[in-house]
């Protein structure tokens, strides 16, 4: 499958890995939008948030918990933001779901 994040998970494309287990893979974003900006992806290919099924609820929770745990390691105790973009209008550019985690700068609302 021609998917960038599947290739990163497989090790075919290098990435700055932060964490991996049997279900998820986390790595630094190549174009960071904050001093801390990493992505948490499921190892299994799921194209968009709309493609999550009933059986994926535990996986989605595990992604969120992984994000929370890594923010502690990366010194984001003052706060952080988790974002998932879905489809074109949501700003999604890579069609393998990923959680953006941003920290160590002040976030603003509403986002662009
Ligand atoms: P999105 O626009 O929500 O689909 O986010 C895709 C993200 O993937 C962007 O923040 C990109 O900077 C990031 N990205 C693209 N290619 C790579 C790569 N090879 N390694 C790490 N992050 C990447
Ligand atoms: Zn994929």
Report pLDDT for 63: 98
Q: Both tokens of residue 43?
A: 């190892």
- What per-residue confidence (pLDDT) applies to 79? 98
The reply to whether 47 falls in a domain is yes
Residue 94 included in any domain: yes
Mean pLDDT throughout 81-110?
98
Q: Which atom of ligand 1 is nearest to the CA of 92?
A: 4
Which residues have a catalytic role annotated?
Answer: 98
pLDDT number for residue 112:
80
d(CA 43, CA 48): 14
Q: Could you list the residue range(s) of the whole structural domain that residue 38 is in?
A: 4-103
- Examine residue 109 and state whether it is found in any structural domain, yes or no: no
CA-based nearest residue to 46, from 98, 97, 11, 100: 97
Which residues lie with the beta carbon below 6 Å from any ligand 1 atom?
4, 13, 15, 27, 29-31, 85, 91-94
pLDDT in tens, 40-88: 999 999 999 999 999 999 999 999 999 999 999 999 999 999 999 999 9
For ligand 1, the distance from its centroid to the CA atom of residue 93, given in whole angstroms, is 8
State the Cα–Cα distance between residues 26 and 12, nearest whole angstrom: 15
Determine if residue 11 is left, alpha or beta; phi over 0 gives left, psi from -120 to 50 gives alpha, anything else beta.
left
Bridge pairing between strands 99-103 and 36-42: antiparallel
How many domains are contained in the chain?
A: 1
Q: 91 lies in a domain? A: yes
Which pLDDT value is given to residue 55?
Answer: 97
**Residue 40 resides in a domain:** yes
Do the domain assignments include residue 108? no
Tell me the CATH number at 47.
3.30.428.10
pLDDT at site 1:
77
Ligand 1, atom 12: nearest CA belongs to which residue?
31
At 13, the pLDDT band (50, 70, 90 cuts) reads: very high
Q: Is 78 helix (H, G, I), strand (E, B) or coil?
A: coil
Which atom, in ligand 1's list, is nearest to the CA of 93?
Answer: 4
Q: Which residues lie closer than 8 Å to 16 by C-beta, 6 or more apart?
A: 27, 28
Q: Is there a domain that residue 41 lies in?
A: yes
Q: Which ligand is nearest to the CA of 5?
A: 2
Instruction: Report how far residue 24's alpha carbon sits from residue 16's, in angstroms, rounded to the nearest whole number.
Output: 14
Is 45 within a domain? Answer: yes
What is d(CA 48, CA 83) in angstroms, rounded to the nearest whole number? Answer: 13
């Amino acid at each position: 499958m021609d998917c960038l994040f599947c290739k990163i998970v497989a090790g075919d494309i290098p990435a700055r890995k932060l964490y991996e287990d049997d279900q998820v893979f986390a790595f630094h974003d190549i174009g960071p939008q904050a001093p801390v900006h990493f992505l948490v992806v499921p190892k299994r290919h799921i194209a968009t948030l709309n493609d999550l099924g009933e059986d994926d609820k535990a996986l989605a929770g595990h992604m969120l918990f992984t994000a929370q745990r890594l923010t502690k390691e990366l010194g984001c105790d003052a706060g952080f933001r988790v974002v998932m973009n879905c489809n074109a209008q949501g700003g999604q550019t890579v069609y393998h779901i990923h959680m953006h985690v941003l920290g160590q700068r002040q976030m603003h609302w509403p986002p662009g």
